[in-house]
Amino acid sequence: MTIHRVIRKVQRFEGWFGGGAVLCLIAGLYLGLIGSPPDYYQGEVVRIMYIHVPLAHTSLLGYTVLAVGSLWYLWKRDPIVDNMCQAVAALSAVFTALALGTGMIWGKPTWDTWWTWDARLTSFTVLLLILIGYLMLRTFVDDPEKEARYGAILAIVGFVDLPIIHFSVEWWRTLHQPQSISMRGVSISSGLLVPLLFMSVGMSLLFSYMLMVRTQLLYLDRLLHAKKGRLLSQFHLSKSDS
């Protein structure tokens, strides 16, 4: 099965992704804001976790998709995959910036500071810079093939930041709390875990839906430009013939 068929099959369920995201987010927001108990130590402010953690998880998922897509592009040179990579990079940058922003808001009442050069925060900021760099690089190169190739190489090199983000709370002594869900088990109560799971699934579905819409948008934009360009060149050719 070619990647084209996979993309086409997935695109057919675009509405299901959007609907699923809305349902999961409604359930997650209701449980997170109203149904779940406050934390014994942080109190009500723990509810920020239900928006911050899913945003952070989804941005990491987005970058993983970008890295895998970039590898695929370098192997097959498929322009549709490159289109998807460009779409996923912009969305990942938005999700990463929002994860950092909500984390800063959570940091103020819990750590009494908006920002600290903690290992997790710094490595996450590096991820945002890589994504912004990727998007900027694509605007500097005129040749579409070179633009896609250079972007793919940068995305694959930048993937080294993901394990650093993941293990930063274990490798260094940080203000950021260790992972609550890991291979060693789950260290948060079910009252807090259920809304977190709903929000995480909802955010991943929302990201997938947004990715489909953005890929479609970039494709249509390029199609329109290409067709307009072809019509214009035909018009010029006919003029020069006559």
DSSP, collapsed to helix, strand or coil, labels residue 113 as coil
CB atoms within 10 A of CB 162: 15
For residue 39, report the phi and psi dihedrals to the nearest 5 degrees. Answer: -75, 145
The Cα 194–Cα 69 span in angstroms is 31
Per the structure block, which two tokens stand in for 135? 């998007």
Element (H, E) at 155: helix 144-158
Question: Among residue numbers 37 through 56, which ones bind another protein (CB under 8 A)?
Answer: 38, 40-41, 43-45, 47-48, 51-52, 55
Decide whether 63 or 209 has the Cβ nearer to another protein: 209
Q: How many CA atoms lie within 13 A of 193 on its CB side?
A: 10
Write the CA distances from 164 to 37, 56, 167, integer angstroms: 33, 14, 5
At closest approach, how far in Å is the CB of 184 from another protein?
26
Q: Which span (116-124, 133-141, 184-192, 204-212) binds another protein, by CB under 8 A?
A: 204-212
Q: Using CB under 8 A, which of the segments 28-36, 122-130, 137-145, 174-182 binds another protein?
A: 28-36
Nearer to another protein, 87 or 154 (CB): 87
Q: Is position 228 an interface residue for another protein (rule: CB under 8 A)?
A: yes
Interface ranges with another protein (CB under 8 A)? 22, 26, 29-30, 33-34, 38, 40-41, 43-45, 47-48, 51-52, 55, 94, 98, 101-102, 105-106, 108-109, 206, 209-210, 213-214, 216-217, 220-221, 223-224, 227-228, 230-231, 234
